[in-house]
């Protein structure tokens, strides 16, 4: 047997065609079918590259035919993907068909010697790996499905904190027809020129929860993992301010209340029970300001906000309450993290002033 006959016999015996399995190759998305075909081709040390497209008309039906050709030099082997049009637009689903001329490969199914082919195959293998549903780029957080934004943010913070950065968040756009909205999570770091880092995550909010888009991969413009930076505290504060489960122990619990009365009851209950060092800490609240432009919004501050404390400065503690919607519900939200009272208990202050005026502790006259 000559070398040519041996070569042809080897090619014929290598089953160059992927199997035509209807439930796999009919009505499949392009990316999924390309991945499946190149999984097959990888076992034969070649890959499919996209060739030319053409349209075939039959009665009222238009079919878009795309040729997929072997990447090896001068190889005539090819298969076809067929996609039908509906109302003048591609339907997005493809079927696999074979070359009726059955032109074979012109090479052995071994590792190629040509450097250009090796590079192309490496790129295809890398593309296949990245196309898999479980693939995670080294610079991206692990895949996660979170019920709330706060849950997603906590998990992202746990992932980013060891790398010495944190995320700021801002809304991007909404799509009411699809019932989704998009959000941006940006790296908190700025360089010496105060330019923001380019590292960004795109996040989609839908009825199913919050999901990170793993297709768009960006990179940092600074070294990561070099220790905490001065912007991490600001980013972490923004995260905690939007986390309904976060609790500042010196403030009433934030959250949504079914009515104004329920909100005030929660504030009163907290105020009656609040203790410091196992001693009741008497505190009172006053409404500092109101804003009715976006519903009814009030800034509620510690009563020492309006008078000098023993330290000679106003108490910085405050929170916001706002009416949400039209059904009478109210939200309590923090305005800062870690900012505590700068004065003793109100009762202690009253007692001290009473003693200074000649009275006895606990007597209010």
Q: Encode pLDDT of 135-145 as tens digits.
A: 677 788 888 88
CB 315 within 8 A of CB 305: yes
Q: Is residue 364 part of a domain?
A: no
State whether 8 and 116 are in the same domain: yes
How many domains does the chain divide into?
3
Burial class (CB in 10 A: 0-12, 13-18, 19+), 162: exposed
Of 14-18, 215-219, 281-285, the one with minimum mean pLDDT is 14-18
Query: What is the residue range of 263's domain?
Result: 255-353
52 pLDDT more than 70: yes
* Domain edge (last residue) among 131, 160, 190: 131
**Residue-wise burial string across 72-99, b where 16 or more C-beta atoms lie within 10 A, e elsewhere:** beebebbbbbebbeeeeeeeeebbbeee
State whether 113 and 16 are in the same domain: yes
Q: Is residue 138 part of a domain?
A: no
Mean pLDDT of 197-218: 86
pLDDT tens digits for range 255-270: 889 999 999 999 999 9
Q: Is residue 59 part of a domain?
A: yes
* Domain edge (last residue) among 218, 241, 264: 241
Of 239-243, 270-274, 303-307, the one with minimum mean pLDDT is 303-307
Two structure tokens written together for 71: 């990447």
Q: Is residue 365 part of a domain?
A: no
* Domain edge (last residue) among 215, 241, 267: 241
Q: Is residue 362 part of a domain?
A: no
State whether 7 and 105 are in the same domain: yes
State whether 329 and 301 are in the same domain: yes
């Amino acid at each position: 047997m000559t070398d040519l006959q041996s070569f042809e016999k080897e090619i014929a015996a290598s089953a160059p065609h992927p199997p035509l399995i209807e439930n796999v190759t009919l009505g499949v998305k392009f990316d999924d079918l390309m991945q499946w075909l190149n999984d097959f081709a990888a076992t034969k040390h070649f890959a499919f590259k996209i060739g030319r497209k053409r349209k075939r008309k039959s009665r009222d039906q238009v079919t878009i035919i795309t040729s997929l050709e072997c990447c090896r030099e001068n190889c005539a082997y090819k298969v076809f993907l067929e996609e039908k049009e509906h109302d003048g637009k591609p339907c997005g689903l493809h079927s696999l068909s074979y070359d009726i001329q059955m032109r074979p490969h012109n090479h052995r199914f071994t590792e190629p010697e040509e450097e250009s082919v090796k590079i192309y195959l490496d790129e295809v293998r890398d593309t296949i790996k990245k196309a898999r549903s479980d693939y995670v780029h080294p610079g991206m957080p692990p895949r996660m499905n979170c019920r709330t934004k706060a849950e997603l943010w906590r998990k992202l913070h746990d992932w980013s904190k060891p790398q010495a950065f944190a995320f700021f968040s801002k809304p991007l756009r909404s799509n009411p027809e699809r019932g989704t909205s998009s959000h941006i999570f940006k790296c908190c770091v700025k360089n010496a020129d105060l330019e923001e880092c380019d590292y960004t995550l795109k996040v989609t909010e839908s009825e199913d929860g919050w999901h990170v888009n793993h297709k768009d991969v960006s990179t940092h413009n600074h070294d990561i993992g070099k220790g905490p930076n001065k912007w991490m505290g600001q980013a972490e504060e923004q995260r905690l301010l939007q986390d309904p489960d976060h609790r500042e122990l010196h403030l009433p619990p934030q959250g949504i209340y079914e009515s104004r009365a329920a909100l005030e009851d929660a504030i009163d209950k907290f105020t009656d029970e609040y203790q410091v060092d196992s001693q009741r800490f008497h505190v009172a609240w006053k409404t500092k300001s109101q804003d009715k432009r976006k519903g009814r919004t009030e800034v509620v501050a510690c009563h020492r906000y309006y008078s000098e404390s023993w330290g000679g400065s106003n108490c910085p503690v405050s929170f916001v309450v706002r009416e949400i919607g039209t059904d009478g519900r109210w939200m309590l939200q923090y305005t800062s993290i870690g900012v505590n009272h700068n004065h003793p208990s109100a009762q202690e202050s009253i007692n001290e002033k009473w003693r200074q005026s000649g009275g006895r502790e606990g007597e209010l006259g």
